[in-house]
Amino acid sequence: MVALTSLSAAPPRPSPSPATPRRWTPPPHIRTSSRRARTARSATVAAATPGTDDYHSTIRALNSRGRHVPRKSLGQNYMLNAKVNEELVAAAGVEEGDVVLEIGPGTGSLTAALLEAGATVFAVEKDKHMAALVKDRFGSTDRLKVIQEDITKFHIRSHFLPFMKEKCHTTRKHAKVVSNLPFNVSTEVVKLLLPMGDVFSVVVLMLQDETAVRLADASIQTPEYRPINVFVNFYSEPEYKFRVNKDNFFPTPKVDGAVISFKLKNAEEYPPVGSPKSFFSMVNSAFNGKRKMLRKSLQHICSSSEIEAVLHNIGLPVTITCTFGLQLTCSNTGLNDT
């Protein structure tokens, strides 16, 4: 389902300079007289309240620890619009007492909005400079734990569950995920989090707009429909929330972002398959054999005659090719009728 809202208004900021220096230098009108004065001002920013993460304070925060240029390889495009962060928090329905996993806190602008909403935050940040910066910024609160790790290599269950047990003082059984994700790891993170419906009730992510549209809205009868859509719909109910204009990020990325929410299903709500692993292996085989007859692309899983019988039972021609997702039943894959 697509909500037609779009947060396209970007906050005011100076136009970017054409050349990219190794270290960000604030434009002349925000420079102070000495390095020490600049550092002092950064300390004030470090303790800032939500709403102050605009262009100038982001530059000051990045420079405060001798930080260099934001790293493209880490998808470091920082959010400059506090309103967008508030909308992300609202999309996840974050409230007092919630425990939230945040991936990539960066300068801590979204972290501030989460803390402001009353959540306890477990933040995983790959960049050691940013992890240190966000720790400094919220040093005095016990409602934040920052781990310097790569989320794609992090064992969420063994680290997050004990934290949740310790911090969750309400009867709530599930935590939430809210993140302005680095675009380059978004598919990997989606694959990691969606099967965790026993831990998280909702996953709200800022993704590349095109990716969010594809994940939330691909129809089974379009060429855009992929195994990842089968995966997303198997484990969750996705909803496209709103588009975020690229001018809201610093540095400005090439593409717009969008917020998508995934309401995670419990295991009892998954489609009835014998084993998700063999189900997804079949889905991948079917899609890999695009334009090949299904009875051929799936013949390593079951015999051609079994596949033909299934196709016949569901009223499809036995010569059908995989042009869009199909529901099959096959005795030796552990798949049930769906």
Which residues are part of a known binding site for S-adenosyl-L-methionine?
77, 79, 104, 125, 150, 180
Residues 6+ apart with CB under 8 A from 57: 45, 48
Q: Is 104 in the site for ligand SAM (CB under 6 A)?
A: yes
Cα–Cα nearest to 244, from 49, 7, 2, 1:
7
Cα–Cα nearest to 75, from 150, 16, 4, 159:
150
Pattern of binders to ligand SAM over 277-316, x per CB under 6 A? ----------------------------------------
Among 82, 92, 101, 103, binds ligand SAM (CB under 6 A): 103
Q: What distance in Å separates the CA atoms of residue 77 and residue 281, rounded to the nearest whole number? A: 35
Q: Is 127 in the site for ligand SAM (CB under 6 A)?
A: yes
Please report where in the chains the tokens 């569901």 appear, as a residue.
314
Which one, 141 or 152, has the nearer CB to ligand SAM? Answer: 152
Q: Is 124 in the site for ligand SAM (CB under 6 A)?
A: yes
Q: What distance in Å separates the CA atoms of residue 6 and residue 246, rounded to the nearest whole number? A: 12
Which one, 126 or 295, has the nearer CB to ligand SAM? Answer: 126
- Cβ of 287: how many Cβ atoms within 10 Å? 17
Q: Which amino acid is at 168?
A: C
Q: Is 75 in the site for ligand SAM (CB under 6 A)?
A: yes
Q: Is 78 in the site for ligand SAM (CB under 6 A)?
A: yes
Which one, 145 or 265, has the nearer CB to ligand SAM? Answer: 145
Q: Is 130 in the site for ligand SAM (CB under 6 A)?
A: yes
Residues 43-72 that bind ligand SAM (CB under 6 A): none
Helices marked H in 8-91 — which ranges?
Answer: 35-46, 55-64, 82-91
Q: Which amino acid is at 281?
A: S
Please report where in the chains the tokens 């803390």 appear, as a residue.
115
Among 42, 63, 64, 77, binds ligand SAM (CB under 6 A): 77
Residues 166-185 that bind ligand SAM (CB under 6 A): 180, 182, 185
Among 2, 3, 30, 74, binds ligand SAM (CB under 6 A): 74
Q: What minimum distance in Å lies between the beta carbon of 152 and ligand SAM?
A: 5
Q: What distance in Å separates the CA atoms of residue 312 and residue 293, rounded to the nearest whole number? A: 14
Which one, 68 or 173, has the nearer CB to ligand SAM? Answer: 68
Please provide residue 316's backbone torsions phi and psi, each rounded to the nearest 5 degrees: -110, 150
Among 59, 79, 117, 121, binds ligand SAM (CB under 6 A): 79
Q: What distance in Å separates the CA atoms of residue 237 and residue 57, rounded to the nearest whole number? A: 37
Stretch that binds ligand SAM, among 15-23, 101-109, 312-320, 330-338 (CB under 6 A): 101-109
Cα–Cα nearest to 191, from 215, 219, 213, 220:
215
Q: Is 248 in the site for ligand SAM (CB under 6 A)?
A: no
Cα–Cα nearest to 110, from 188, 179, 204:
179
Residues 147-166 that bind ligand SAM (CB under 6 A): 150-152
Position with the least CB separation from ligand SAM: 104
- Cis-peptide into 251, omega within 30 deg: yes
Which spans of this chain sit near ligand SAM (rule: CB under 6 A)? 74-79, 103-107, 109-110, 124-127, 130, 150-152, 180, 182, 185
